[in-house]
Amino acid sequence: MFGYRVPAPDEAMLISGGRRGLGGAPFRVVTGHGKFVLPVFRKVRFLTLSMCESEVTETCVTKQGISLHVRAVIAFKVGNDPESIINAGQRFLSDQEQMSVLTGRIFAGHLRAIIGSMTVEEIVTERQKLAAEVLDTSKTEMATIGLIVDSLQIQSIDDGDTGYIDAMSAPHKAAIQRQAQIAQAQATQAAVEAEQAAARKQAEYARQTAIVKAEYSAEVDRAQAEAAQAGPLAQAHAQQEVLAAQTELAERQAELRQQQLVAEVVKPAEAEAERVRILAAAEAQRMKIQAEAAASYDRVALDRMLIDQLPQIVKEAAGGLAGAQVNVLNGADGLGEIAAGLVSQGLTILDSVRQNMSGQDKNTKADSNTGSQGLLQLRSGKERPSDNGPVNVD
């Protein structure tokens, strides 16, 4: 809008003409908002409120009479309150660059005064104290001209060619160099120890690697040897099993052969021996009967004696069968036929004896042999035909 003016955020608008400002100032101060200004009748000027910088390079003499070249930087600005703006505006509005010049001169004077009351050691070691004292002594003057100081930094202190500061710092430099050398030596020692430790670790790693490789190689060789022996061992086990099976088979064959020998040789021999025994017993019994008959000349007594001895003869024949192996092919009928055969044999013997006793002794002996052969035929296992089937006697 025509005649409406607004200051920047870091500016103060000074309006002159018309009414006076605060405290009888020749202008009014406007900050942070706009203002309608009548043209021609009012005049507007702007004062910066931004940060300004002033650099001071001054040669100062210390309490000890030693000249020092001091370089400092001051950061300042116009105060934000209306009073500071009015004070700064009345002094610097037409030439605002003069604020830096004037500030530098003010601080140079205070800097010379403060350094003159201090020693070089205090100035060098207590720069912050020096800056604080300079700020305190200049604060009133700066406030009078409407300026405030944000910071004061002592950038450098130099004694020129006198060498005082160098001499003062020599012990510290020596100590620092000594500490640096010690630190370097310790670092070197640590580096050497680290290298030695690394070398030991490498050697240990190499040793362990060699051991592992050797163990692995031995394991591989052992596995290969076992694999190489596996075939022959398996073949040997197989042969051993075959031999064991053959041995068992041979033992079974020997047992079977033994049983066959028993059946083919021993049993027939025992049967033949039993047959001979029975024949001998029958012959002895016959001769005994003949002897008794001849002695008594009693045919009736002889017959009765033969009849009395007939059960004993049959018993002897049956006893001979007790140890023999009898195969009955037709069951109960076969057993009946065996029993009937035994009785018939006994009767045949009795008839032969009776007939031969009346004839010659030669015929009697032949009949007796016939009876004995009948018993022999019964004992030797000859098959006798029957109606129900054959009977085998072994």
Which residues face 297 on adjacent strands? none
> What's the CA dihedral at 342, 348, 353, 355 to 10 degrees?
170
Looking at the chain, the whole-number percentage of residues with pLDDT higher than 90 is 20
pLDDT digits (tens, 9 = 90+) for 298-314: 555 555 666 666 666 65
| Phi-psi group of 386: left, alpha or beta (phi > 0 → left; psi -120 to 50 → alpha; rest → beta) | beta
pLDDT digits (tens, 9 = 90+) for 27-67: 888 888 888 787 777 888 899 999 999 999 989 999 888 88
pLDDT digits (tens, 9 = 90+) for 202-224: 999 999 999 999 998 898 988 88
**How many whole angstroms separate alpha carbon 381 and alpha carbon 376?**
9
Which residues face 57 on adjacent strands? 71
Is 282 within a domain? yes
- Give the model's pLDDT for residue 17: 78
pLDDT classification of 78: cutoffs 50, 70, 90 = very high
Is 11 within a domain? no
* Tokens read off for 251: 């033992």
> In which order are the strands placed within the sheet that holds 67-78?
52-61, 67-78, 147-158
Please, are residues 21 and 27 in contact by the beta-carbon 8 Å criterion?
Answer: yes
* β-bridge pairing 27-30 and 147-158: unpaired
Is 294 within a domain? yes
**How many whole angstroms separate alpha carbon 145 and alpha carbon 90?**
9
Is 366 within a domain? yes
Say if residue 338's pLDDT is above 60.
no
Q: At a CB cut-off of 8 Å and minimum separation 6, what does 101 contact?
A: 54
- Give the model's pLDDT for residue 225: 86
Question: DSSP letters along 44-56, please?
Answer: EEEEE-S-EEEEE
CA angle 318, 323, 326 (to 5 degrees): 80
Is 382 within a domain? yes
DSSP state, residue 81: S
Instruction: Look up the domain containing 299 and give its range.
Output: 262-393
Give the chain's domain count: 1
- Give the model's pLDDT for residue 25: 77
Please, are residues 98 and 47 in contact by the beta-carbon 8 Å criterion?
Answer: no
Is 72 within a domain? no
- Give the model's pLDDT for residue 349: 62
pLDDT digits (tens, 9 = 90+) for 174-190: 888 888 899 999 999 99
CA angle 248, 252, 253 (to 5 degrees): 115
**How many whole angstroms separate alpha carbon 38 and alpha carbon 94?**
22
Say if residue 347's pLDDT is above 80.
no
**How many whole angstroms separate alpha carbon 212 and alpha carbon 240?**
40
Is 387 within a domain? yes
Is 131 within a domain? no
pLDDT classification of 317: cutoffs 50, 70, 90 = low
User: Which of 177, 131, 137 is closest to 155 using CA atoms?
Assistant: 131
The amino acid at 331: G
pTM, to two decimals: 0.42
The amino acid at 341: G
Alpha carbon distances (Å) from 108 to 70, 101, 118, 151, 198: 10, 11, 16, 15, 61
